[in-house]
Amino acid sequence: MATAAAQKHIQLALGLPQRLRTFLARYPPSSILPEGANPEEFQTAYQKVAPNPFQSTKHPVTGKWHEPKYSLRRQAELVKLARKHNVEELLPFTVKGTEYKLAKRVELGLRVKGTGVGQKVKGHKYERQLGAKMEKRRQAMLDMPELIREWKKVGKRNWTKFPK
């Protein structure tokens, strides 16, 4: 008889949609194997043909590339379904996965030139000089009380002769 923990996992698995259950039965993740088990021994017939059904495979004899078992559209549907049921980490690596998409977003930015990591937008001259201009203006505002005191010492008539 199965233990209480195993029963709980079985009930959770039965709560998944049929499409997701079928996929996980064909391509079970190595994370659900027993402790110390060799993943090679527990491979299904589907996994022997294509270890990752989301990636192209090269035929060992002919050297020709075979398309993935699941198209990009079907991959996206499976990932959305798995994400909805909080089991996305059980799926094999795919370019439709959340982790991959977040990494690409960080690397490329918002697909607007200059928003990625280490990129700059060329921009107009006034846009490029805006930072330095605003810093100079901020510094002038900080120095203003001292400048006003100096002007009051010199007087109204001699302020044009004040050294810059």
pLDDT in tens, 105-164: 888 877 777 777 777 777 888 888 888 999 999 999 999 999 899 888 887 676 665 555
CA 154 to each of CA 146, 148, 150, 160, 162: distance values in angstroms, whole numbers, following the listed order: 13, 10, 6, 10, 8
Q: What is the pLDDT of residue 160?
A: 62
For residue 65, list its beta bridge partners: 58
Those residues with Cβ within 8 angstroms of residue 78's Cβ, 6 or more apart along the chain or in another chain:
19, 20, 23, 70, 91
Whether residue 34 is predicted with pLDDT greater than 90 in this model: the reply is no
Stretch 56-65: mean pLDDT, rounded?
Answer: 94
pTM: 0.64
The mean pLDDT of 61-90, rounded to a whole number, is 96
Taking the mean position of all CA atoms in its chain, how far away is CA 38?
31
Q: Has residue 31 got a pLDDT over 70?
A: yes
Span of 42-46, 81-85, 97-101, 118-122 with lowest mean pLDDT: 118-122
